[in-house]
């Protein structure tokens, strides 16, 4: 692993944890911060990394998605009358993971495409 890849790994974890800290304080703006974080974190990590862009870009999004899913599932507003998870929670959790993977793929593909175009020029 190259030095830039190690730095990308550290930055990815730091951005993921920092975004989770922002999400805890967001209140009703959590949805907007979630979307910005899911797009911004993979972009920064993909720019830093040299190889395995998608793996490194997916790391902060997995941290954010796990945090968002766990906090959302443990919220008292998302509980079923029997005390278990509501059907809405069971629908939202896979959706958050799918959106986080799609955002990481989008940002990785964009950075990869720009690198290929710049290398040809």
Q: By three-state DSSP, how is residue 85 classified?
A: strand
The pLDDT value given to residue 74 = 77
Structure token digits, residue 77: 């507003």
- Series of mean pLDDT values for 10-residue runs along the chain (121 residues): 90 92 84 88 92 89 88 75 75 88 92 90 73
Q: Give the start-to-end residue ranges of the domains of the chain.
A: 3-120
pLDDT of residue 68: 83
Are 36 and 22 in contact by the 8 Å Cβ rule? The answer is no
Write down the pTM of the prediction. 0.83
Among 6, 90, 108, 103, CA closest to 64: 103
- Nearby residues of 42 by Cβ (< 8 Å), 6 or more positions away: 57, 58, 60, 61, 103, 104, 107, 108
């Amino acid at each position: 692993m190259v030095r830039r890849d190690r730095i990308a790994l550290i930055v990815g974890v730091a951005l993921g944890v920092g975004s989770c800290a922002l999400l805890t304080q967001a209140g009703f703006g959590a949805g907007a911060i979630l979307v910005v974080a899911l797009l911004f974190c993979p972009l920064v990590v993909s720019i830093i990394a040299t190889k395995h862009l998608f793996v490194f870009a997916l790391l902060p999004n997995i941290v954010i998605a796990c945090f968002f899913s766990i906090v959302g599932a443990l919220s008292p507003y998302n509980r079923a009358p029997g005390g278990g998870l509501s059907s809405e929670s069971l629908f939202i959790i896979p959706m958050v993971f799918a959106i986080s993977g799609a955002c990481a793929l989008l940002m990785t593909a964009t950075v990869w495409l720009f690198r290929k175009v710049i290398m040809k020029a």
